[in-house]
Amino acid sequence: METIEAICTRRSIRKYTSQPVSEEIIHELLAAAMYAPSAGNQQPWHFVVIRARQILDAIPEFHPYAKMLKNAPAAISVCGDPALERSRDRWMLDCSAATQNILLAAHAKGLGAVWVGLYPEVSRMDGVRNLLALPKHIVPLSLIPIGYPSEQVPQPRRFNPSRIHYDKW
């Protein structure tokens, strides 16, 4: 898949088949995440791959927008490690870039995925932190449910020339 095509045709997919996602594909998604740009190339991220049904099913109990996890065969939590950064408060930017790389890589592999935000909602971050037994200094930024799509979401027209400014506002 061409890069521009992948960017423009990626959709947020919330319904999945029961087909498992192979370990090989999960590793490809994680490799794509680790090639994201990061401030000072510090790469202040950690990833938790979630396959345990009891964990996937528990997250919607405290996260109102995570119900799709109940039918996802897997998810990845992208977490920031502020101790790994030299430039203060850049971890969330870096981890956001890693999250987007996972979404694009999943789409390119024929998978469906969606960005489920955690940061900066304390109750959602604490819920995931407790479920995944994250160390106190690790900050969960996002969850990405992943699976083979059982829905097709049409591509909207999003290009908006009125939002483009040249040289000055």
- Residue 157 included in any domain: no
pLDDT digits (tens, 9 = 90+) for 85-134: 988 899 999 999 999 999 999 999 999 999 999 999 999 999 999 999 99
The verdict on residue 165 lying in a domain is no
Tell me whether residue 32 is in a domain.
yes
Residue 167 lies in a domain: no
Where b means 16+ CB within 10 Å and e means fewer, 98-117 reads bbbbbbbbbbbbebbbbbbb
Counting the structural domains of the chain, the total is 1
Q: How high is the pLDDT of residue 154?
A: 87
Is 55:132 a contact under the CB 8 Å cutoff? yes
Residue 84 is given by DSSP the state: G
The C-alpha atoms of residue 12 and residue 6 are separated, in whole angstroms, by: 13
Q: Is 39 a member of any domain? A: yes
Residue 83 lies in a domain: yes
The answer as to whether 93 is a domain residue is yes
Determine, yes or no, domain membership for 29. yes
Residue 155 pLDDT class (50, 70, 90 cuts): confident
The domain containing residue 21 runs over which residues? 11-151
CATH at residue 67: 3.40.109.10
User: What pLDDT does residue 133 have?
Assistant: 98
